[in-house]
Amino acid sequence: MKRPFIIAVDGPAASGKGTIASGLAQAFDLPMLDTGLLYRAVGVLLARHGGDFDDVEAAARVARELTPEMLTDPAFRTREAGEAASRVAIHPPVRAALRKLQQVFAHRPGGAVIDGRDIGTVIAPDAPAKLFVTAAPEVRAERRFKQLKAQGEPVTFEDILADIRKRDARDGGRADSPMVQADDAVLLDTSQMTIDQAADAARRIVEAARARWEQDPG
Ligand code: DC
């Protein structure tokens, strides 16, 4: 059977992978899933129920009950939600509870774009197109700072840079961390690029992968 055309987009916090993934979804006419939103939802809903981020079982329970319809709350897009997500995402039972939903989405027959931390390695190692999007911490902090300010959050650049460094250490600092670049992912460092340039570069990488996939769908 023909392997579905999955585009896996991984990378650290505020690397621009969300914007890049949306651009790819539009360019290739594919549905998209932002998996950070799943972890954000688990963190926020757990906190709303009075739960503790270190309570692995409570967090896993919230993750097991999560459905895609629950992801529309704007509260999941805040800085606080990002921090909560990163706290619950370190628990293996939370990751396991969210795995199936992500794998089903990624492997839909028509193909999909899916962005996160471990898409190319764990969720869809078979993806024909894999990108690992990154940028220097200061560049990512500047982008996230502008985005949160536009959302009306009272933040400073220094706080956001500290957040980014903390998130990098938590998401990628351990041997069992989710955030590792897949061996067959193309690295896209967007530090010196505008978001439009980054989106163009990503599209070219995926066009090449698509041509290879059309020759040999696997
Ligand atoms: O990409 P984001 O900022 O929305 O992600 C929020 C947090 O969720 C991030 O710090 C780590 C976690 N996450 C993860 O562990 N695995 C994913 N596939 C997506 C996000």
For the chain, the maximum distance between any two Cα atoms, rounded to a whole number of angstroms, is 53
pLDDT of residue 205: 97
- Could you say which of 105, 123, 145 is where a domain stops? 105
Asked if 138 and 88 sit in the same domain, the reply is no
Ligand 1 proximity of 36 Cβ (cutoff 6 Å) = yes
The answer to whether the CB of 10 is under 6 A from ligand 1 is no
Closest Cα to atom 18, ligand 1: which residue?
116
Collapsed DSSP state (helix, strand, coil) of residue 78: coil
For 55, the domain range is 36-105
Q: Is 144 in the pocket of ligand 1 (CB under 6 A)?
A: no
**Rounded CA separation 58/197 (Å):** 42
Which atom of ligand 1 lies at the shortest distance from residue 89's CA?
15
pTM of the model: 0.92
Distance 18 CA to ligand 1 centre (A): 11
Q: Is 143 in the pocket of ligand 1 (CB under 6 A)?
A: no
Tokens of 197: 């340039």
What pLDDT is attached to residue 177?
Answer: 67
pLDDT digits (tens, 9 = 90+) for 93-133: 999 999 999 999 999 999 999 999 999 999 999 999 999 99
One domain for residues 54 and 80: yes
Whether 65 and 117 map to the same domain: the answer is no
> Tens digit of pLDDT for each residue in 138-196?
999 999 999 889 989 899 999 999 999 988 888 776 656 667 889 999 999 999 999 89
Arithmetic mean of pLDDT, 200-209: 97
How far is residue 204's CA from residue 59's CA, in Å, rounded to a whole number? Answer: 39
Taking CA atoms only, the protein residue closest to ligand 1 atom 4 is 36
Q: Are residues 170 and 120 in the same domain?
A: yes
99 and 114 part of one domain: no
What pLDDT sits at residue 123? 96
- The pLDDT value given to residue 179: 76
Whether 93 and 65 map to the same domain: the answer is yes
Output the pLDDT for position 195: 87
Residue whose CA lies nearest to ligand 1 atom number 15: 89
Residue with tokens 């919230």: 62
18 plus 119 within the same structural domain: yes
pLDDT of residue 173: 60
pLDDT at 151: 86
**Predicted local distance difference test score (pLDDT) of residue 178:** 67
The confidence score (pLDDT) of residue 105 equals 95
The residue ranges of DSSP E strands in the chain, in sequence order, are: 6-10, 32-34, 112-116, 129-134, 186-189
Predicted local distance difference test score (pLDDT) of residue 142: 94
> What pLDDT, in 10s, does the model give residues 35-82?
999 999 999 999 999 999 999 999 999 999 999 889 999 999 988 999
**CA-based radius of gyration for the chain:** 17
In angstroms, the CA 41 to CA 72 distance is 9
Decide which of 53, 86, 105 is a domain's last residue: 105
Q: What is the 3-state secondary structure (H, E, C) of 93-147?
A: HHHHHHHHHHHHHHCCCCCEEEEECCHHHHHCCCCCEEEEEECCHHHHHHHHHHH
CATH at residue 132: 3.40.50.300
Domain count, the chain: 2
